[in-house]
């Protein structure tokens, strides 16, 4: 591996540089997770702002706060995943499972069910 200027995390200094296409694909995936988190943030704000009398104030605020916290957590998971995929590519290890995708599906599914029940009531 050639020496580069500037600080790099230890995980990005070990192994060999992968094909730039793979690194850029990993970056695009990270950005897709960030866009998803931004969409969840927007949904939480819209729920709190525009739900009005459709959903009770307590449930609306709770659900919006859960979505806001979840969006923040999702961004952290996205960064950790980007890092672990980059490390795996550099060291020839298998790519990690996208466990944040399971968390995303379960959280949004549960939020959708809670909101649907609240609207029907």
Residue 2 — pLDDT band, cuts 50, 70, 90? low
pLDDT at 78: 95
pLDDT at 22: 94
> Which residues, at least 6 apart from 114, have a Cβ–Cβ distance to it below 8 Å?
59, 63
Q: Which residues of 82-117 are buried (b: 16+ CB within 10 A; e: fewer)?
A: bbebbbbbbeeeeeeeeebeeebeebeeebeeebee
Q: pTM of this prediction?
A: 0.82
Measure the CA–CA gap between 104 and 3, rounded to whole angstroms.
38
| Number of domains composing the chain | 1
Assigned domain for 60 exists: yes
Assigned domain for 25 exists: yes
Quote the domain boundaries for residue 36.
18-120
pLDDT at 1: 47
Q: Which residue has the higher pLDDT, 106 or 53?
A: 106
pLDDT in tens, 3-17: 555 787 776 788 888
Query: Which residue's structure tokens are 């104030």?
Result: 57
pLDDT at 82: 94
Assigned domain for 9 exists: no
Give the residue among 111, 103, 113, 107 at the shortest CA–CA distance from 46.
111
pLDDT at 5: 59
Assigned domain for 107 exists: yes
7 token code pair: 């600080």
99 token code pair: 């466990």
Assigned domain for 111 exists: yes
Assigned domain for 13 exists: no
pLDDT at 15: 87
pLDDT in tens, 24-78: 999 999 999 999 999 999 999 999 998 888 888 999 999 999 999 999 999 999 9
pLDDT at 46: 93
Assigned domain for 37 exists: yes
CB 105 within 8 A of CB 95: no
């Amino acid at each position: 591996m050639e020496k580069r200027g500037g600080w790099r995390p230890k995980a990005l200094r070990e192994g060999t540089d992968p094909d730039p296409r793979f690194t850029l694909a990993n970056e695009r995936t990270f950005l897709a997770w960030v866009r998803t988190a931004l969409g969840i943030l927007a949904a939480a704000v819209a729920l709190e702002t525009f739900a009005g009398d459709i959903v009770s104030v307590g449930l609306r605020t709770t659900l919006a706060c859960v979505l806001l916290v979840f969006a923040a957590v999702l961004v952290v998971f996205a960064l950790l995943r980007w890092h672990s995929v980059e490390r795996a590519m550099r060291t020839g290890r298998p790519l990690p499972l996208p466990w944040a995708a399971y968390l995303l599906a379960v959280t949004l599914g549960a939020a959708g069910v809670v909101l649907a029940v609240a609207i029907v009531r």
